[in-house]
Amino acid sequence: MSEQSPQPNGDAATDGDARDPSGFLSEIIGAPVTVKLNSGVVYKGDLQSVDGYMNIALERAKEYVDGEMKRNYGDAFVRGNNVMYIAADM
């Protein structure tokens, strides 16, 4: 009885949403996202792909330092260990 894992299934507090991050990730592939790094630098662009390390490939990436746009990248790879969060732009 105390054997149940803390993972998925469980009683539904939410309405049928996936309860681990993979559902969210597949939901936002191709969508515009904001990626914030631990350093505070922000990248905005279209999310091309993510993997289990949170390595990220962005298209049309814009780099923001202290809220100011600094650079444009057609394609950018962000190594996962630097990522603080990935936010969906809606």
Give me the residues that bind another protein (CB under 8 A), please: 1-2, 4, 6-7, 10-11, 13-14, 17-25, 34, 38, 54, 80-81, 83-90
Interior angle at CA 25, CA 14 and CA 6, nearest 5: 45
Nearer to another protein, 13 or 74 (CB): 13
- How far apart are CB 37 and another protein at their closest, in Å? 10
Give the single-character DSSP code of 22.
Answer: H
Nearer to another protein, 2 or 68 (CB): 2
Question: What SS3 state is found at 28?
Answer: helix
Alpha-carbon distance of 4 to 70, in angstroms, equals 49
- How far apart are CB 62 and another protein at their closest, in Å? 17
- How far apart are CB 61 and another protein at their closest, in Å? 17
